[in-house]
Amino acid sequence: DKLYHRTEQYLLGGFDVEQEGARVEQALQALREKLPDWPERVLAVHARRGSPAYWAAFSSEDLVWHARLMREADRRQQGLAIAIRTDARRSVTEVVVYTAQRRDLWPLLAGALAMGGANILEARLFDMKDGWSLAVFAVQDATGGPFDTGGRLERLESGMRRVLSGK
């Protein structure tokens, strides 16, 4: 039983289970420092959303990006929020989708990205503890570059919205 849980944690986040609490606390402390305008109660609610694997899987900059997306979506009562940015250093476009949990989320998003011409290099899906999901993709176009020209970002986003709305 212990081996199973250690293996699961390793595969989900690649970290030692004994250090899990310390890693989560480091991530949350970095979040507090980078979001000084957030009230502690809001940070506490946000902190309860993610699993230890989620907190260990991303840099503090990524966690801040996700937190702002989630908070704004919650504030606006949006059932779907999508954020896209280009990472020129890695030559990828990063796509984050925040929506209610659903069983078909993974294949729908992967299909929408593929139909938009995206090659998926990295894909991670986290079911948050509050009934929402956060999907994070790193994609490139057919030439090995990011989606950053000629309206491709807009088409990629509209395709994901269309597929998730059932159209």
pTM of the model: 0.86
Ramachandran angles phi, psi of 138, nearest 5°: -115, 120
Ramachandran angles phi, psi of 126, nearest 5°: -120, 120
* 129 vs 141: CA distance, rounded Å: 33
Q: Residue 118: is it exposed, middle or buried by C-beta count within 10 angstroms (0-12/13-18/19+)?
A: buried
Query: In the sheet that 80-87 helps form, which strands lie side by side, from edge to edge?
Result: 80-87, 92-100, 132-140, 119-127
Residue 32 pLDDT = 94
DSSP 108: H
Which residues in 65-144 belong to E strands, given as ranges? 80-87, 92-100, 119-127, 132-140
Which residue, among 135, 95, 92, 139, has the nearest Cα to 120 in the 3D structure?
139
* 64 vs 125: CA distance, rounded Å: 17
CB 103 within 8 A of CB 158: no
Residue 167 pLDDT = 73
Computed over its alpha carbons, how large is the radius of gyration of the chain? 17
Profile the chain (167 residues) by mean pLDDT over runs of 10 residues.
65 62 88 95 94 92 97 94 94 96 95 94 96 96 86 91 89
